[in-house]
Structures are given as C-alpha cells and as structure tokens.
Structure 1
Amino acid sequence: MPDYYPFHPTPRRPAVLPPAGTIDSQFHVLGDPDTYPTRPGAAYHMPSATWERAKHVHDQLGIDRGIIVQTTTYGADHQVVLDALDALGPNYKGCANALVFAEKDDAYLRKLNDAGINGARFSFREALGAVLSDDDFKAATDKLRDMGWYMKVQPEQTGIAQHVGKFADVDIPILIDHMGRADASKGVNDENIVALKKQLDRGNVWVMLSLGEKVSAAGAPYDDVVPLAQALIDHAPERCVWASDWPHPVSKKQPPNDADLLELFYRYAPDEAMRKRILVDNPAKLFGFDPVAS
C-alpha cells in the first residue's frame, strides 16, 4: 500500500465562519485496522482519520452537519460508517460504496438505510479497484431508484467527460464529485467542464465543488480553480454543493489546512446569499436534511 500524506493536524478557525446549518457534503472516516479490516488491494489507509478527528475539524470550521462517504478502503463493509453515524447523531448522514450492491443482501441495505445512509458512490477509477461491472451497475441503479437513494459519481483522474455515457440514462438524482476533475490548465473550456454543464442541464444532476487543491494545476492559492467553480455556479446555482473531502485521501502533497479550503470556497462564491445556498440549502434538499430558517 503506497504512502500518502495525512490530513493537516491543526485545523484553524476560518476568518469568517460559514452560515448556520452548513453541510460538508463529503468527508471520510477510517479507523484501527484491528476493528475495521481493510479490503484486499485497498489503495490507501489512514487509521488516524477517525470520526473524532473529523468532528474536531468540523467544530473548528464551524460546520454543523455532514455526509460520511464510505471509502474504497473498506469496500462493502460499512461498519466504520455505521459506528460514526451512531456516535455523531442525526446531524450526519452517510453515503455507501456501490460495491455493497454486488456483495451484500437486501437486509444489509435496509440496515444502512435505517442508519441514515441514503446514497451510494460509484467509482470509475480503476486504480482504486472498486468499479462495478456493467450488469452490476445496472442492477445497482435499479436498487437506488427503488430505495429512493441518490447516485454519487467519483470521476476518473482524467475527468468526467469520458464516463458520462455510463449514467446518461439514469433518472435519479446524481451528484458528480470534484468539479468533474477538470483540467484547470485548460480553463473553463476544458472538455470536462463542458460535459459537466451538459449534465447539469438534465435537471437531476448536481456538482460538488471540492478538491480544488488537487484540481488546480498552479497550486496554492489555487487561482486557476476559481473560474471553473464560478462557471459551474453560474450555470446551475441551485444544484451546487461543497465538501471538504477530509482527510484528503491519496494526497501526494501535504493537504492544506482545512480552513484554507473553506476560504477557497468563499472565493468561488463571494456573495453571502449564494454561500448559504450552496453550503446549506442545496445540500439539505439533496441529502434530506431539515431546512434552516433564514
């Protein structure tokens, strides 16, 4: 298993706190491998990234709610997420790994649903070894529809454009991660931004404004990512959400302080009303949280 850089150990308080009810639309939790065995062939592990550390990050950032997304590290075994949801309470929900549809039964899916998991993440990143076959993908999509769950799409390193055909006919809510993994060096005309806009036009597709530090080709302070995010916000402001992606898995460079990433989002959305829309209102609608009074 390759070595990668861990999360920043001392998240600071951001200069401006996010609005009440802010939702971190994706973070991960891991734990002691004796308690949570890793999947054979897992690309990474980070046992220090516990739910307690995640909650500390959220407390520092002023974040009230969040979505725990099952990592590929554990595949279809969701015990680490179930334990975290039980500890963190009703302000947190979960997103399964799509391998669960191929490897577990309906009783297990009901267990996940009852615990607050209401979506599943599909990977097209062959390097992570968690990609469903075409038949399993179709069966999983049908199951999502039956259960009222949303589909989450993790783009390949080269971007979302080459994979949009995979879910072009899927009619349930779809959340595309990481700004489609656009090539920031190509600007707003990158094929992945163009493809992502076309998907957003379908009306059931959402985009997660995350991973700016890795999407950036220029590096900190990530100026080249700002126009990409703003183009997506301008195109579909009602279907943009934000996420920290803590603990920043498979980071080949030291991840920034998490407050830096929240403040990077503030540059995407300088307007206070738009910030609330993306941080609070939009994800509450997508993930099924109670709305926050204005």
Structure 2
Amino acid sequence: MLSRRQGLKLSASAAAAAVSGAPAWSGGGADPAAPTVGTPVSIQVPEGACDCHVHVFPDPAAFPFWEGRAYTPPVATAAELLALQRALHLDRVVIVTPSVYGTDNGATLDGLRQLGPQRARGVAVIGDATTEADLDAMAKAGIRGVRVNLEQAGVFDPAASAKALDAAVRRIGQRPWHLQVYSRLSVIAPLKAQLAAVPVPIVFDHFAGAQAALGPQQPGFEAVLDLVRSGNAWVKLSGAYRASTRAPDYPDVAPLARALVAANPERLVWGSDWPHPDSGAVPGRKPTDLAPAQPIDDGRVLNLLAEWVPDAALRKAVLVDNPARLYGF
C-alpha cells in the first residue's frame, strides 16, 4: 500500500496537471483537457462509439492499491477519462479492474457511478471471497464481465490456466456476462477446444497476446482466428504498443487486425488501454515505486483504426454495434 505521503504526492501531481493543462508526456500539441490526445481525431467517429478497455486509478488514499501488486500507476481519474472520451468523440466506455487492486473493484465501481449508466460499463476481477451478493450488486452497478489476468499473474501453464478459467465461468453462472482473458498465444492455443465449449462469451485482451513482429502466421494465432470465426471468442483491438515496438503507428499490427476482421468482424471491439500503465518489470524499480504511464498518443492510435478496418461500415460495427451487444448498452 502507498504511504500517505506517496498518496498525497500522486494526488497533488494529478491536480497540478489538471490545473495547468500540462500533458502527461512530451509529445507536444496535446489537448489540454485530455493530455494523452496529441493528434486530433481525423476519422469519422459514429454516434455511440465505445472505448472497450480503460482503467481508472483514483486517489489511493480513498482507493488503496493491493499490497501484492507488481507496479504502482499514476493517478488517472474518472473526470480525466471523461475528458478523454470527449476529445476522442466517444460516447461509451468500458472500465476494467486492473491488477493493482487485486480483487477489489471499488475504483472501477466508483468510475461507473461517476460516468453513469448511459456511458459506462465495467469488467470486474473476483476471487474466492467475492460473494453471490457482491456479484449481483456489481451487475446492478454496470459490471458485464469477469476478467482473468493470467499474464500479470504469471500463469503461463495451460493446465493451471484452464482451472482459473473454469473457476471464473462457474462464478459467472447464469448471469449474462462474458469472460475476459488476458494471456498469450502459447496458453490460448492448447485450450482452444475448452474455450470453444465455454457457455459464455470469451473476450481476449490486446490482440490475444499476439506479437506483431511475427505476423498472422505466428504459432497460436490461427487458433484465435478459428475461435473468432466460429463466434466463440471476441478480440479487443487494443494495446497496440503491447504487441509492437514500432511506435507511433505500429505498422506491423495492421496485418493482425486485418486477419481478425477477415475472420469475423462481428467479434471485434476497440480499446485505447488508457491511461497506458507501465506494468512491466524495470530493473531497480520496486512495486511500490511510481511507474510513469507510457507515452501513447490516443488520438493517433484511434486514427489507426482506419488502416486496420478500412471499411466504414465495419468500423461502425467495431466501435458501436459489437460493444452494444457485448456490454448491453
């Protein structure tokens, strides 16, 4: 947990940035209200468009981080998220509970409350101590899925992963929710048959963990494409910087996106992954040390969707129609 001094420092930094309009990174030309938008949106964003993957990190004095976390992110509030939405011309958003809170969904639920049911839905992280009453209350608050973060937990064994996924599906029960999975292709591919039989929608984070430099022919990606073709799985076109090192336009991500579109455009959604927390291990950085957010230009990344999904009607499906069905807007 952050000390009170660290928490006040984080909160003061966020407040200073909000007052001064200073960008969180040195990209230049950033929108003062939404400092991660350094490039104006140039694509036509249809009404009802949704950012399907963001996090909120409110004041840690009010919403403490989990002691077992792997990193400590800067403050990123619901108010700042709303400013991002407006700068990107988006009407809807999905807040996902990040690993730094463990199974405490308080920050996500507070974000949903602040943004309201017309705009926001959420994805929770649960554990053995999460009761059925808790799940019912979260459903009323706007939660529409459960996330299993195998990547951050370091679970790369398919057998152990299968148990974690089974446990989450059992907890979902008859609720009209989905199972969101953050993992890698070497874990997903061996579980293809099990994932195809899961009675709830499966949603893979961040291009299903594919590495852009290896292209659509990389081992395991065809298994994801098969699951998407059959309608058993969804994929988030999100976190391009996690798949590629070729910033700022990530050209090697485009073939992955186009392969997914060719497989089944009705099973794709888009996400910014704002505020781009740096969850990776850095030599000498302790989990309790502040990990600066990664310098991502959200306007530029949204504009890339025109290259990934050139057809305007299909982009509308990805931005509006598919999220409306998956999250119940």
Residue pair 1:212, 1:225 contacting (<8 A) in 2 also: yes
The SS at the match of 1:146 is coil
- Which residue of 162, 182, 185 corresponds with 1:154? 182
The runs of 5 or more residues in structure 1 that have no matched partner are: 290-294
> Taking every aligned residue pair, what percent have the same amino acid on both sides?
37
| Cα distance in 1 for residues equivalent to 2:193 and 2:183 | 12
Q: 2 CA distance for matches of 1:222 and 1:68?
A: 24
Quick one: structure 1 residues 48 and 157, their matched pair in 2 at CA, closer, same or farther if it must change by over 3 Å?
farther
Kindly provide the amino acid, as one letter, of the partner of residue 40 in structure 1.
Answer: E
Q: Across the two proteins, how many residue pairs are aligned to each other?
A: 282
What is the aligned partner in structure 1 of residue 306 from structure 2? 266
Q: Distance in 2 between matches of 1:19 and 1:40?
A: 41
Residue 54 (structure 1) aligned with residue 78 (structure 2): no
SS for the counterpart of 1:152 is strand
User: Equivalent residue for 1:292?
Assistant: none
Alpha-carbon deviation of 1:160? 3.8
Letter in 1 for 2:106: Q
One-letter amino acid of the structure 2 residue matched with residue 88 of structure 1: L
Partner SS for 2:234:
strand
Measured in 2, the distance between the counterparts of 1:203 and 1:10 equals: 34
Q: Distance in 2 between matches of 1:10 and 1:197?
A: 32
Larger displacement relative to structure 2 (38-47 or 204-213): 38-47
Q: Distance in 1 between matches of 2:229 and 2:36?
A: 40
Q: How does 1:65-214 map to 2 (within 5 A)?
A: 65-90=92-117, 91-97=119-125, 100-127=126-153, 137-156=165-184, 160-161=188-189, 164=192, 167-214=195-242
* TM-score normalised over the length of structure 2: 0.78
Task: Give the aligned residue type for 1:255.
Answer: P
The residue aligned with 2:294 is 254
| Correspondence 1:31-50 to 2 at 5 A | 31-50=58-77
Name the residue aligned to 1:30.
57
- Provide the secondary structure at the position in 2 that maps to 1:195: helix
Which whole-Å CA distance do the structure 1 matches of 2:168 and 2:228 have between them? 22
Alpha carbons of 1:208 and 1:7: their partners in 2 closer, same or farther (altered >3 Å)? Answer: farther
- Tell me if the contact between 2:162 and 2:191 (Cα under 8 Å) persists in the aligned partners: no
Q: Deviations over 1:175-220 (max 9, x none)?
A: 1111112121221101232121122133221111111122114333
Give the whole-Å Cα distance in 1 for the aligned partners of 2:86 and 2:135: 30
After superposition, the Cα gap between the structure-2 partners of 1:133 and 1:180, relative to the gap in structure 1 and judged at 3 Å, is closer
Is 1:245 paired with 2:273? yes
Q: Distance in 2 between matches of 1:133 and 1:269?
A: 32
- Aligned-pair Cα RMSD in Å: 2.5
TM-score by length of 1: 0.87
**SS of residue in 1 equivalent to 2:231:** coil
CA distance in 2, matches of 1:181, 1:39: 25
Question: SS in structure 2 opposite 1:188?
Answer: coil
> Computing the radius of gyration over CA atoms, which structure comes out larger, 1 or 2?
2
Shift of the 155–135 alpha-carbon distance from structure 1 to 2, 3 Å rule, reads closer
8 A contact 2:55–2:273 mirrored in 1? yes
Contact 1:96 1:117 in 2 (8 A): yes
CA distance in 2, matches of 1:160, 1:88: 34
Code of the aligned partner of 1:237: P
CA distance, structure 2, for counterparts of residue 147 and residue 190 of structure 1: 35
**Aligned AA for 2:212?**
A
